Structures are given as C-alpha cells and as structure tokens.
Structure 1
Amino acid sequence: MATNYRLLTPAEIAQLEKQLCVADSWENIQVAENFTPTHIHYTRFSGTIRLGVFEKEFQLPGGMSKHAGLCRVTLHNVTVGDNCCIENVKNYIANYTIGHDTFIENVDIILVDRETSFGNGVEVSVLNETGGREVMIHDRLSAHEAYIMALYRHRPQLIERMKEIVQAYVKERTSDSGQIGNHVTIVDAGYIKNVFVGDYCQIEGTSRLKNGSINSNEHDPVHIGSGVICDDFIISSGSNVEDGTMLSRCFVGQACHMGHNYSASDSLFFSNCQEENGEACAIFAGPFTVTHHKSTLLIAGMFSFMNAGSGSNQSNHMYKLGPIHQGALERGAKTTSDSYILWPARIGAFSLVMGRHVKHPDTSNLPFSYLIEEKNTTYLAPGVNLRSVGTIRDAQKWPKRDKRKDPDRLDQINYNLLSPYTIQKMMTGRMILKDLSKVSGETSEIYSYQSAKIRNSALNKGIKFYEMAIHKFLGNSVIKRLENLHFASDEEIRARLQPDTPVGGGEWVDVSGLIAPKSEVERLMQEIETGSLTTVAEMHAQFAEMHRNYYTYEWTWAYEKMLEFYQLDATRITAKDIVAIVKQWQQSVVELDKMVYEDARKEFSLSSMTGFGADGTRREQELDFEQVRGAFESNPFVTAVLEHIRVKTELGNELIARLDNLL
C-alpha cells in the first residue's frame, strides 16, 4: 500500500477522460507516486479516492491472465492498494480500503453504510431461543469465554463485567469504513454490506454477506462459496463455508467446515466443527461437533467432540411456556441414527445414545455409558464404552483432524480421553453403582437411576470398567512422574511424588474443550468481577495459561486421588506400594486393550461380510471383504492395539526394575 500520494496531473486526467472515466471532482483523487492511468477504463469516481499502482498481471485458472486495473466500476470513498484488479461491479463499492494484490470481479455491490462493528457485539441467543443466555460474539471469542458467558448466569456481576469487556473491544472495531485485505479474491458475488474481509480470503459465488467479519489471514485463509447467505456473523481463520449454507447470528470458529445447504441460527460453532446438510438452532457447538445428514436437527444443546447420527433430533419445549428447555451431551458423546432426546437432559461424557429418550435422564456422573431405549424406557449400561474400539479410535483421530494452521489459536483444546474431569466422574459413578447395589440389594434384576434403568449385570460390569479406568489413569500418572529417574531410598520416591503446586486439587471442569481445575476457572471469574482483568486479550491469556499448565495441575489431583484410592499415607509410601500400583495398572491396561481388540474383531466377523462378494460363494465373499476392508491381523488399528499392549507392559516392567533395589 502506497504511503505517499499526489494529485493527478492534467495529462493523467485527460487520459482518464479519454478512457471514459468520470469523477465528481478530479481534485478528490490522490494517486501513488508511480501511478499511471493506462489500465483504468469506464470508471466513475466520487468522494475521496486513493489509487495505488497497476503494474502486475493476475494468473487465472485455465491459463487466462488479466492485468491489474479498474474497468466498469463505480468507487465512492475508496482506497485501492497496489496491483488490484477490479472489474464489472454492477452497482458500486463504497467506503472501503482495499489492500494490495486483490482481485474483485462480477459483483453486485460492496458497501459500508454508516457506523458498523462488522458483526462484533451481535448477541446470539444460544441454548435458550427465548433469550437469557445471550453470548456477545466478537473476533477473539473462544469457546471458553462463551461457555462462561452462557452458563454462569447465576453470577450477574460476572456477566455484566464480561459484557463491558466485550463492548470495549466492539468499540475498537466500530467504524464507518470497511476493509478488504491483501490478496483477496471476490468474484461472482451478490450483496456485501458492512463486512470486514481479511487477507487471502476467497469469496466465490456468494449470495449475501451482511454485517460480519471474515477473519482470514495468510496462515489460514477463509473460503466462502456459492449460494452462501450470512447475516450478523463472524467467521474465523481457516474456515470454509460453502454450497448454499445459511447462517444468521452465528459465530464460526477456526478451521470449521460448513456446506451442503446447512442452515443455522443463533448458534456458536468452535474449532474444527463440521456441519453439513442439516439444521441447527440455538446450539453451543464446542470443538469437533460434527453432523453430516440432511435429516439431523441439533437444537438448544451443548456439545463437543460429538458426532450426530442421521435423523438425530431433540425437543426444547413441551408446548407450555415455549422453547425454554436445554440439554447437554458432554464431551465425546454420540447419537445413533434416529435418536431422540427430550430436553432437559444431560448425557455423560463419551456416552452413546440410541433410540428415543423422553424422561430427562441425567447421566453426567456415569460417563462412557450406553443409553438404549427399549419399550419407551431408557436402559443404561455404565462404562461399557471404555471397551469400544470406536471410543479409542475417536480419541486418536481428533488431534490428527485439528486443521488449524493459524498460530494464534482461539480455543485451548485438551484431547485426553482419561483426565481428572472424566476420572472424578468415574469415581463418583463407581460409588453411585455400589450404593445402588447396597440399597436395592445385590440380587435385584433392575436398578433405577435418574429415570433410567440399569440391569444387574450392567451395574456390576460398570463398577469393574470404572475401576480399571481409574487404575489406568493413576498408574499412567505415577509412571510419568517417576520416569527416567533412579532412587536410592523410599524417601527420594516420596520427595519426587510431592506435587509442584497446590493448584489442581478438588473438582475439575470441561470448559468446552479446556480441561482445568475449577479453582483456576473460579479465580479467573473473580478477577473479571473485581475488575483486575479488563481486556479480551487478558482473558485469552489466562485460558492459554491453564491449558499450558495442565499436566502440572493434573499431577496435583492424581497424587491426592492416588493416596485416597489406594489408602496410602503420604509419609509412608514405599517402592513396594509403587510396584503394586504399577502391576495393577499393567493388568488394567492389558485387560482393557484386550476388550478393545475383541470389539475390533466383531468388525471382521462373518455377519459383517453380508453384502460383500456379489453373486458369489462364501469364499468369494471373504476375498471381496478382504480386498475392501483388509485382513483383521494387518488392520492398522488392530496392530496398534497389540503394540500398545507390548509397550505398556515393557514400560511397567522398566519402572519395576528401577525400583528393584528398594524392594
């Protein structure tokens, strides 16, 4: 972008007029020092105009090239950077600064009309369509900030202070002129009003964009495709919004993909969400919320790491006071095809929902469960998802599917399957199941819990699954704490086991992707309430710090729970105690892996081959299956499970060997 401008010379004005250009006043046009009018034709100028140089050519698909310049366009109060090509604007471009190397062709209108904040400050009525949980969206919104603003309404002073912080940011973004960045492409587009367009953005065939920000950048460009309609929106870096998607009052986080006529209103979508074909209304879609199917409606729910099966549906009102009910599927929960949940309800982490559930279950303290409907009754199988090959595969694929390339990441995402957040729930769930057995009797066939039924066998298996997972997590933590160290005495072991910080004890929370001690989240909220934290940037830095210190805080929690669960005295822990924990860990890891292995084997059973081997014998069926799906023994996931068993067994043996001199 030029920094030194001059007025047009009489010769330049004469050449522009010869090339059928007109201006309200040639004196209101300033140009870069090396400007030449050669490539400006059929252009109308009004208001204050600044023009850069037009020296380069754009190489277009198909081998076509076009020289930078202006042709058949009306500009009003516009600054055009160096080497832009702007052609065939049906109406006009008004009140914009356009960066360098930007290509604009065949658009209807691009304008800023009076003061605007470009989507910043729009209130999204998330979770409750009738209002009461509004989140003020802005360019720097994280899933964690939105979580607090939506859910902590019982602290009105906190919410008021958060709104003030956001409003201060909104004031910074408010202007009566807009910006289209460098290396932007806008072609075959319709109506664009009050929209900020970041660097390297591509807008192709878009129908309407109104009151929003597209925060594209060189590291992670944004693409807006054909037929898209967006009103009152913010779209973050790395996202793709394609193929007739319609958004109204929505925030789209980093590296999201939306397409195939998806429609959403009053909804928040955070990092790596993928939404296609279906519909969303008033949802809080935390990181990795995925839905692919036309018949799927997500409404008034909170989700993260979630996959919605085709035909998944929820209801947020019971025809009384309107759509006021809400629900949550905690991280990692899934719905099967044609599942239905009547809100209010809360489904525990990494659970599977199958069938229709109308009695408002709350299974948040029984994670990794199956909720299965049978004759209008919800049956609960606690912990069974811990042995599922799908659960393990999901945990492995999420980090690999993080498509964010922007180094400035808005969301702090923790991918751990087992964490203080899920283990504390399993510890609580284990006690709940034991109490149910004790109160109702060990021989009862059916137990009742939170409007759900639990069969006797499922209850006993649930206790076993939770205990194995607890052994696995605590053992992992102990081994990590003691790795690569040699000890001359039990006192040295006890010293090493001592936590590095008191922070981390007590309850942990999942703040939409960020797993952290509740005490740290509480401290952040108090700093907001007291006014010691005053900017969006400071809030973001605090969340990033919690994420960075996760493993330090995790050990504080794990150490406390290790003493409690294994009934150990911190002043008397010996190598023998550690070896006992490690052996229990080995047993649990191997047993869980074997269950996962057997679950994977089902995918290669004879019944799974149904539909393979067209018109052939059973042998042809098997060969066809093997060509398409591969052999069980060579399946990458199966070999990874076997390798995991070997590695973990050796890891435990290595620590035991290091402690052998103290036994």
Structure 2
Amino acid sequence: MTQHYRLLTKEEIARLEAQHCIASDWSGVEVADDFHTDYIHHTRFSGKVRLGVFEKEFTLAGGMAKHSGVYYATLHNVTVGDNCYIENVKNYIANYEIGHDTFIENVDIILVDCHSRFGNGVEVSVLNETGGREVIIHDRLSAHQAYIMALYRHRPVLIEKMRKIIESYAESHASDTGTIGSHVMIVNAGYIKNVRIGDYCQIEGAGRLKNGSINSNEHAPVHIGYGVICDDFIISSGSHVEDGTMLTRCFVGQACHLGHTYSASDSLFFSNCQEENGEACAIFAGPFTVTHHKSTLLIAGMFSFMNAGSGSNQSNHMYKLGPIHQGALERGAKTTSDSYILWPARIGAFSLVMGRHVTHPDTSNLPFSYLIEEKNTTYLVPGVNLRSVGTIRDAQKWPKRDQRKDPNRLDQINYNLLSPYTIQKMMTGRQILKELARVSGETSEIYSYQSAKIKNSALNKGIKFYETAIHKFLGNSVIKRLEAIHFASDEEIRARLLPDTPIGTGEWVDISGLIAPKSEIERLMEDIECDRLNSVDEIHDRFAEMHANYYTYEWTWAYEKMLEFYGLQADMITAADIAAIVRQWQEAVVGLDKMVYEDAKKEFSLTSMTGFGADGSSEEKMRDFEEVRGVFESNPFVTAVLEHIKVKTELGNELIERVKNLL
C-alpha cells in the first residue's frame, strides 16, 4: 500500500487533461511515486485527492479482464489505494479513504457529508417500540451487553454508565472521512451515505445504505445483495443481507442471513440468526433465532435458539395505551404454524407453542413443555418435550450450524440442553407440580397454573420427566468429575468431589446465549457501576471469562444440588453413594434415549408414508419412501441414539468398576 505521495508533474497533468480529466486545482492531487497516467480517463478531481499505482488487472466472472484505474468518475477528497478499479460513478465519491485492490463500478453516489459515527451510537427501541428499553448499538455489541442494557432498567446507574461507555466508544470511531477497505467490490449500487465498509465486503445492487458500518474482514466477508435498503445499522462479520431486505435501526450480528424481502425495524439480530420473507418490529433475536415464512410477524419479543412456524404472530397491544407490552420465549422455544401469543407472556425454555394463547401464561419454571390451545383454553403438558426427537436434533444441529469464521467472536454461546439454568427450573417445576397435586388433590382431573390448565396424567408424567432429566444432569456431572481417576479410599472420592471455586452456587441465568451464575452477572454490573469496567472491550472480556469457566462453575452448582437432591452429606459420601447415582443416571439416560427412539419411529410409520408412491401399490409406496427417507434402522439419527445408549451404559459401568474395590 502506497505511503508516500508526490505532486503531479506538468507532463502528467497535460496527459491527464488529454485523457479528458479535469481538476478544480491540480495542486490538490497527489500521486504515488510510481504512478502512471495510463489508466485515468474522464475523471474530475475536487478537493484533496490521492492516487496509488494502477498495475494489476481484475478478472471478473466469465473471464472478463479489466485493468485497475479510474474511469468516468468524480472524486472529492478521496484517497484511492493501489490497484483499485473505479468506473461509471454517476454522481461522485466524496470524503472517503479507499483501500487497495478494491473494485467499484456502476454506482450512483458514495459520500460522507458530516462528522459521522457510522451507525455506532444509534438507539434501537427494542422490546418496547414506544421506548424505555433502548439499546445503543456499536461495532462490538454482544447479545449479553444488549440483554443487560434492555432488561436491567431497574438499575439506572448501571444503564447510565453503560450508555457513557458506549457513547465514548462511538465518538472515538467518529470521523469526517469514511473508509472503504481493501479487496472490496461495490457494483450496481445506488445511494451509499455515511457508511464504513470493511475489507473483502461485496455490495451488489444495494438500493440505499445510510449511516452504518459493514464490519467485513478477510476471515468473514459480508455480502450485501440486490435491492437491500439499510438505514441506521451495523452489520457484523460473515453476515449476508440479500434480496430486497429492508432494515431500519437494526443491529445484525455475526454470520446472520437475512433475505427474501425480509423487513425489520428497531430490532437486534445476534449470531447465526436466519430471517427470511417475514417481518420484525422491536424484537431481541438472540443467537439462532430463525424465521422463514412470509406470514410470520415477530414483534416486541425476546427469543433465542427459536424457530418460528408459518403464520406465527404476537400482539403487543393488550389494552388501549398502545404497543407497550412485551414477552419472551426462553431459549429453544418453538412456535407451530398459525400460533398466536398475546403479550405479556413468558414461555419456558425448549417449549412448543401450538394454537392461540390470550391468557398471558408464564411457564418459565416449567421448561420442555407443550402449550396447546383447545377451545380458547391453554393446556400445559410439562416436560414432554424432553422425549422429543426434535428437541435432541435441535441441540445437536446448533453447534454444527455455527457459521462464524471471524476469530474474534462477539457472542459467547453455550449450546448445552441441560445446564444449571434449565435444571434449576426443572427442580422448581417438580416442586410446583407436586404442590399442585397436594393442594388440589391427587385425584383431580384438571389443575390450574398461571392461567393454564394441566391434566392429571400430564402432571404426573411431568414430575417423572423432570426427575429423569435431573438424574441425567447430576450423573453426567459426577461422572465427568471423577473420570480417569483410580481411588484408593472414600476420602479420595470426597476430596475430588469438592468444587474448585465457590463461584456457581445459587441461581443461574441465560443472558441471551451465555449461561452463567447470576452472582457473576451481578459482579459485572457492580463493576460497571463502580467504574471498575470502563470500556466495551473490558465488558466483552468479562463475558468471555464467564463462558470459559462454565464447567468449573457448573460443578460447584451440581455438587451442591447433588447433596441436596440425593440427601447426602459432604463428609460422608462413599463409593456406594456414587455407584447408586451412576445407576440412576444410566437408567435416566437409557430411558430418555428409548423415548426419543420411539418418537423417531413415528417418522417412519405408515401414516408418514401417506403421499409416497405416486400411482402404485402399498409395496411401491414403501419402496418409494425408503428410497427418499431411508430405512428406520439405518437412519443416522436412529443409529446415533442406539450408539449413545451403548456408550453411556459402558461409561457408567466403567466408573462403577473403578470404585468397585471400595464397595
């Protein structure tokens, strides 16, 4: 990249003028030492312009070659790096520094017209479109920072300190000059104003980009497609915004994909979100929020690891004071086609919502449930989603679908299906269900909870589902803690079981993808309030530290709950106690896997074959089904479940064998 510039010689000026170039003042044009005039034609220079060398060719799709240079363009206060190609700028490029090897062709206008912060510092009225939960977006925004800024409004000092930290960051990145990075391609674009564009970005046919940052880089390029309109925005590395998408006051996180005329306003989309066809207003879309359907509206809600069915809808007008209500679907929740929820409501983690729900349910302490509407009544089926093949498949697919290539990741994502966050809710849910049975009578046909109805059989099964999952989680934790160690005495087992840190006891929270002890989140907020954390990077590093220490903190929590759940005393645990926990764990794991296996079997039933075999007999129908879907026994998921049963059984037996001499 050229660093040293010189003035043009009289001969160079004469040659440029002969090539139909003009300047308001040629002394304002500086060039690289090795500059040649051969590839500058029909160009107008205004203000201070710097030009690099033009020595390379671009080879375009189809084999077309174009030599770097500037043709048919107007440049005002622009630095053009080495080996760029700029042609057919209908209006002008003003106040930009352009990197090297960048290709710009057939654009209307690219300019900076003020002291701009390029989208940093824009306030997004998330969750409540009338205001009150504004999140200030910036280049380094994570889902966890946004979560605290949106939801912890009961701590005004914290919010004010965070606001100042972000304002300081935004102002430090403000400038009168925009940047277009190296290896960028901008073709057939319209209006680009006050936009900072990172390296390796591709912009093809965008309609309007105004006041924003496109944080593309070599590891994770950004692509902006045809007809895209973005105002007051930030788009993070590795994301694709395509095909007529319209964004107003939005943050797009890393490796997101927005397309097929999706429209959104005042919304936040974090890592790996996929949004197509539908629309969003004032939503907080945590990692892996997915919606693909034209008829789907997401409004004033908080989501993560969520899949919205066709026609899913919510209302944030409960009465007559306007759109002031909000709701949350905790991690992993799904909605079926044509579902509806009247906010305010809160749906527990990994739950499935079917039908129309207008009674404002709060099922956050009953995760893995079904909410089913029947004759305008919400029926709750607790814990049943633990046995669903879909739930297990989701948990397996999310890590595989993490498309982030940027080594500097903004969001700290925990993929665990069972964690202190979900298990604490199951423990609470188990007690709630038991108390409902005690108060209303164990023979009652219907129980009422949070404006929902629970049938007797569903309640009793829910208790068993939760107990099974608790056995599975605690057993997993114990086996992991004791793995690969041979013990000579019960004392050695007790010593190994002791936690490495006191951090982890008490309540745990899901901060939009990050699962952590609430005590650590409280400590972070106190450090912001007391000025011990003073920058967005320091806040980011603290979240990353919590994520890195997850399993250490998890064991502290699991150890305490193990003693409580199994009625053990820390100084009296024996190998026999461990063996008993492992056997219950084996029973829980195998039991759940068998339920998942039976659930998967439904996908291969005769009913599922309806529609297969175009014109033939039932035998041809089955052969057609098997050609398309495969045979149940050889299905990859089914074989994985069977292998999981085998491996986990052997793992438990191996630990029992290691402590056998102490039994």
Q: TM-score range by the shorter chain?
A: over 0.9
SS class of match (2:194): strand
Structure 1 CA distance for aligned equivalents of residues 206 and 164 of structure 2: 34
CA distance, structure 2, for counterparts of residue 48 and residue 282 of structure 1: 43
CA distance in 1, matches of 2:235, 2:319: 34
Counterpart residue number, 1:95: 95
Q: 2:448 is matched with which residue?
A: 448
The separation in 2 between residues aligned to 1:68 and 1:656, in whole angstroms, is 71
Give the partner amino acid of 1:309.
G
Partners of 2:616 and 2:374 in 1: CA distance: 37
The aligned counterpart of 2:520 is: 520
Q: Distance in 1 between matches of 2:397 and 2:304?
A: 14
CA distance in 1, matches of 2:127, 2:488: 57
- What SS class does the counterpart of residue 49 from structure 2 fall into? strand
Aligned partner of 2:649 in structure 1 is: 649
Q: Distance in 1 between matches of 2:437 and 2:160?
A: 46
List aligned pairs for 1:492-511, cutoff 5 A. 492-511=492-511
User: What's the secondary structure of 2:632's corresponding residue?
Assistant: coil
Question: 2:353 maps to which residue?
Answer: 353
Distance, in Å, in 2 between the alignment partners of 1:188 and 1:623 is 50
* Distance (Å, rounded) in 2 between the aligned partners of 1:40 and 1:105: 14
> What corresponds to 1:62 in structure 2?
62
CA distance in 2, matches of 1:207, 1:431: 56
**CA deviation profile, 1:145-167 (whole Å, cap 9, x unmatched):** 00000000000000000000000
| CA distance in 1: counterparts of 2:417 and 2:255, whole angstroms | 22
- In 2, the alpha carbon distance for the partners of 1:477 and 1:213 equals 43
Secondary structure class of the residue paired with 1:403: coil
1:297 is matched with which residue? Answer: 297
Matches for 1:340-419 after TM superposition, within 5 Å: 340-419=340-419
By how many angstroms is 1:318 displaced?
Answer: 2.5
The runs of 5 or more residues in structure 2 that have no matched partner are none
SS in 1 for 2:135: strand
> Deviation per CA, 1:385-438, whole angstroms, max 9, x where unpaired?
000000000000000000000000000000000000000000000000000000
Letter in 1 for 2:162: M
Q: Give 1:125's aligned residue.
A: 125
Which residue type is aligned with residue 244 of structure 1? G
Deviation of 1:450 after TM superposition, in Å, equals: 0.1
Equivalent positions of 1:39-438 (< 5 A) are 39-438=39-438
Distance in 1 between the 2:450 and 2:589 partners? 31
Residues 312-321 or 81-90, more deviating:
312-321
Structure 1 residues 95-131: Cα deviation after superposition (integer angstroms, max 9, x where no partner): 0000000000000000000111000000000000100
Q: What's 1:21 paired with?
A: 21
- Tell me the equivalent position of 2:636: 636
Matched with 2:591 is 591
Give the SS at the match of 1:487: coil
1:562 aligns with 2:562: yes
* Residue 202 of structure 1: how far off its partner (Å): 0.1
SS in 1 for 2:50: strand
In 2, the alpha carbon distance for the partners of 1:563 and 1:135 equals 41
Q: CA deviation at 1:340?
A: 0.2
The one-letter amino acid of 1:410's match is L
Give the partner amino acid of 2:352.
L
Structure 1 CA distance for aligned equivalents of residues 500 and 662 of structure 2: 24
Q: Counterpart of 2:465?
A: 465
Match of 2:30 in 1: 30
Amino acid at match of 1:584: Q
- Determine the C-alpha separation between the residues in 2 that align with 1:267 and 1:189: 25
Moved over 4 A (4+): none
- 2:166 partner amino acid: V
Q: What CA distance in whole angstroms lies between the structure 2 residues aligned with 1:284 and 1:249? A: 13
**More displaced, 90-99 or 310-319?**
310-319
Structure 2 CA distance for aligned equivalents of residues 124 and 290 of structure 1 = 20
Letter in 2 for 1:588: A
Q: Which amino acid aligns with 2:13?
A: I
The 2-side partners of 1:261 and 1:615 are apart by: 39
User: How far off its partner does 1:298 sit?
Assistant: 0.1
**2:634 is paired with a residue of what secondary structure?**
coil
Specify the code of the residue in structure 2 equivalent to 1:246: M
Local SS of the residue matching 1:189: coil
Q: CA separation in 2, counterparts of 1:609 and 1:377?
A: 33
Partner residue of 1:481? Answer: 481
SS at match of 2:611: coil
Following the alignment from structure 1 to structure 2, what is the Cα–Cα distance between the partners of residues 365 and 544? 27
CA–CA distance in structure 2, aligned partners of residues 504 and 287 of structure 1:
24
What's the secondary structure of 2:66's corresponding residue?
Answer: strand
Structure 2 residue identity aligned to 1:349: A
Q: Per-residue deviation at 1:443?
A: 0.2
Q: Distance in 1 between matches of 2:319 and 2:562?
A: 49
Corresponding letter in the other structure for 1:275? E
Q: Residue 576 of structure 1: SS of its match in structure 2? A: helix
Separation in structure 2 between the aligned mates of residue 220 and residue 114 of structure 1, nearest angstrom: 29
Superposed CA offset, 1:632-663 (max 9, x none): 00000000000000000000000000000000
After TM superposition, the structure 1 = structure 2 runs for residues 564-579 of structure 1, keeping only pairs within 5 Å, are 564-579=564-579
Equivalent position of 1:611 in the other structure: 611
Match of 2:104, as an amino acid? I
Encode CA deviations 1:480-512: one digit per residue, 9 max, x unaligned. Answer: 000000000000000000000000000000000
C-alpha displacement of 1:24: 0.6
Structure 2 letter corresponding to 1:230: C
SS of equivalent to 2:463: helix
Alpha-carbon distance in structure 2 between the residues aligned to 1:508 and 1:532? 23
State the distance in 1 between where 2:241 and 2:465 align. Answer: 42
1:319 deviation in Å? 4.3
**Structure 1, residues 274-309: CA drift from partner, whole Å, max 9, x if none?**
000000000000000000000000000000000000
Q: CA deviation at 1:615?
A: 1.4
Q: Deviations 1:195-229 (Å, cap 9, x if unpaired)?
A: 00000000000000000000000000000000000
Q: Secondary structure at the match of 1:481?
A: helix
Q: Which amino acid aligns with 2:459?
A: L
Give SS of 1:480's match.
helix
TM-score, with length taken from structure 2: 1.00
Rounded to whole Å, the distance in 2 between the matches of 1:342 and 1:177 is 47
Separation in structure 2 between the aligned mates of residue 82 and residue 393 of structure 1, nearest angstrom: 50
Structure 1 unaligned spans of 5+:
none
Q: Which range moves more in the overlay, 633-642 or 318-327?
A: 318-327
Aligned length: 663
Q: Which residue identity does 2:661 align to in structure 1?
A: N
SS of residue in 1 equivalent to 2:639: helix
Deviations 1:242-285 (A, max 9, x none): 00000000000000000000000000000000000000000000
Q: Tell me the distance in 2 between the aligned counterparts of 1:130 and 1:4.
A: 52
- Could you tell me how far apart the structure 1 residues matched to 2:114 and 2:248 are? 21
Paired AA for residue 197 in structure 2: V
Q: Secondary structure at the match of 1:633?
A: helix
Alpha-carbon separation, structure 1, partners of 2:533 and 2:585? 43
Identity over aligned residues, as a percent?
82
